[in-house]
Amino acid sequence: MVYYILKRLLLIPILLLILSALIFSLVMFLNPYERLSVFIPNPEAAIAGIPFEELITRYGLDKPFYVQYYNWLKELFHGNLGWSASARMSVFKAISRYFPATVELMLLSALITFAGGIFLGTYAATHHNRLADQAARVATSIGVSLPEFVFGLAMLVIFYAWLGWFPPGRLSYWANEIVYLSEFKRYTGMNVIDSVLNGRIDICADALRHLILPALSYSIGLLSVVLRLMRSSLLETLGKDYVTTARAKGLLEKVVIHKHARRNALLPVITVAGSIVARMLGGAVVVEVVFNYPGMGRFIVVSAQGLDFPAILGAALLIGTLIIIVNLIIDFLYTVLNPTVTLR
């Protein structure tokens, strides 16, 4: 067991090295001139006087792949992720600003996904073949197929354009001004938590008002996945002998379901939880663009459209690391919950 964890932990840096090399090699598909274009803010005005060749040599853009990769890696170990031309700040600063916003969105989405999915899945399974169950079957089929951006846009049309309840963005204008004052202390970078710590409930409410629609659009598909899984897993568990035994003992149906059946039925949900969290980490892209939410996903799209590769490399490396760690935790958790599985 210890040996297995050690092996996996040792593999992480190697995986990351290959991962970053792969992303870096993607960049190499572009010729030096295209990669140089990031550094030139206004090509029409400046085209005459730019010493292209000189700049390419200075930034080392014509060197072979391994030299450029080595240079990037060397900078990385000095804590320098490079300059993001599209965000007009260093990549490190951009990530430390956008990442908490995404984490905030993700935590709320995960809460909706798992709490909602497990609760509704239990309800559907215990009301098997009745109206609620049939409705769940149809609703999850639609939920799984609904593209995030279609659902998100529909939400925007209804709750912003029509009713005017939930605006896009991250904070209202008035709240934004307060958040950037020096009296407002930033502990985590997440508005909801920071505002509570600063004793500003009104800002917390405003942040939640901006969060609710993106989180809902983001979690609707994943909630359907969890609901389905929970439903079918619980139905299978309810047919097991020990559930019959528990019922025969005369236990309350509530106790049978919550104490005996649901705990075992959760196992497949936990197995899938890892891939869901991993998908969440990499998937906020579309929702953030739809709701104009300044998080990692929108940062990546904007920087990708501007061929801003230091930014993409930094962001992808961070997300890749998180996915690898999440997968490790899930594997570990799985053995704790299910002692019949042994890790090698």
Give the integer Cα–Cα distance in Å for 85 and 42: 12
CA distance 290 to 170: 12
- Give the number of residues in contact with another protein, rule: CB under 8 A: 58
Token pair for 50: 């730019």
* Binding of another protein by 26 (CB under 8 A): yes
Only segment of 49-57, 79-87, 155-163, 248-256 that touches another protein (CB under 8 A): 155-163
Tell me how far apart the alpha carbons of residues 213 and 247 are, in angstroms, rounded to a whole number: 42
If one asks whether residue 159 binds another protein (CB under 8 A), the answer comes out as no
E strand residue ranges, 33-163: 83-84, 89-90
The CA distance from 196 to 40, in Å, is: 42
311-330 positions binding another protein, by CB under 8 A: 312, 315-316, 319-320, 323-324, 327
Give the shortest CB-327-to-another protein separation in angstroms: 7
Rg of the chain over all Cα atoms, to the nearest angstrom: 24
Check residue 17 for interaction with another protein (CB under 8 A): no
Q: β-strands 83-84, 89-90: how paired?
A: antiparallel
Are the CB atoms for 203 and 195 separated by under 8 Å? yes
Each residue 262-281 as x (binds another protein by CB under 8 A) or -, in order, gives: ----------------xx-x
Q: Which of 42, 129, 340, 342 binds another protein (CB under 8 A)?
A: 129
The reply to whether 132 sits near another protein by the rule CB under 8 A is no
The verdict on 289 binding another protein (CB under 8 A) reads: yes
Which residue's CB is nearer to another protein, number 171 or number 234?
Answer: 234
In order, the DSSP letters of 163-230 are S--S-SSSS-HHHHHHHTSTTS--SSS-HHHHHHHTT-HHHHHHHHHHHHHHHHHHHHHHHHHHHHHH
* Candidate residues 117, 214, 283, 295; the one interacting with another protein per rule CB under 8 A: 283
Residue 180 C-beta: closest distance to another protein, Å? 27
What is the binding site for another protein (CB under 8 A)? 15, 18-19, 22-23, 26-27, 29-30, 125, 128-129, 137-138, 141-142, 144-150, 153-154, 156-157, 160-162, 232-233, 235-236, 238-239, 243, 278-279, 281-283, 285-286, 289, 300-301, 304-305, 307, 312, 315-316, 319-320, 323-324, 327
